[in-house]
Amino acid sequence: MSRIETIGNATLYLGDCREILPTLAGVDAIVSDPPYGIAHQHSGKGNASRGNLRGGHKGRIRNTDAIAGDAEPFDPTFLLGFDNVLLFGADHFRARLPEHGRFLAWNKIGTVESWDTFSDVEFAWHSKGKAARIFTYEWKGLMCRKVGEDNGRRDHPTQKPIQLMKWCITQAALEPNSLICDPFMGTGTTGVAAVTMGHRFAGIEIEEKYFDLACRRAEEAQRQQQLAV
């Protein structure tokens, strides 16, 4: 651990979550989008950074930076001891998850027909609950919904929209002022969602450039929350 920043109801840690997470007490839920082994760091090569558009044209996403840990298959075992766990990318590591729980689906294109080789949907596994649910929010290429989402800007290759993470937190069915932890915080979208919903947040990120962005977003979220009171 090299830095700790406390910003209102959020505490952000720069370092390796496998070292930091065991030191945190009172975590009510893990809500995260871990690096799950799709090798996104293949910048400019393959479908990890390009998609085939109709007619054979190539499409390129705006951020092809490597994601720490994404070159290897993800093992969620160290997170499964927590009571309430929600993890994106779960279809990629389903064999290493318990038999119980449910899947949540995020429809990224609404009612528009598919146009490239990228996935139109992402799946999360939730350790609680029985019924599978679907959330629709356009967040793919030109379909990106920009209102309330910093005009659609994405500073991390796999950045999630705030509204999606708010929905995930609602699915976790937490009491007010719960402590939500994202051990793979990225630029802190889960934290923004958590604090604006009246929860506490603990976020861990190993990449300093994303950690700094998460700190700035946490500060802005706290200001907005104070203005809303």
Lowest mean pLDDT among 42-56, 113-127, 196-210: 42-56
- For residue 54, pLDDT beyond 80: no
Global pTM reads 0.86
pLDDT in tens, 66-100: 777 667 889 999 999 999 999 999 999 999 999 99
pLDDT in tens, 129-159: 889 999 999 999 878 888 878 878 888 888 9
Instruction: Give mean pLDDT, residues 96-106.
Output: 97
Instruction: Give mean pLDDT, residues 207-222.
Output: 95
108 neighbors 139 (Cβ within 8 angstroms): yes
Contacts with 203 (C-beta within 8 Å, 6 or more apart), sequence order: 10, 11, 12, 13, 181, 182, 185, 188, 190, 191, 214, 218
Which homologous superfamily does the CATH classification assign to the domain defined by 3-228? Vaccinia Virus protein VP39 (3.40.50.150)
Contacts with 170 (C-beta within 8 Å, 6 or more apart), sequence order: none
Q: Where are the domains of the chain?
A: 3-228
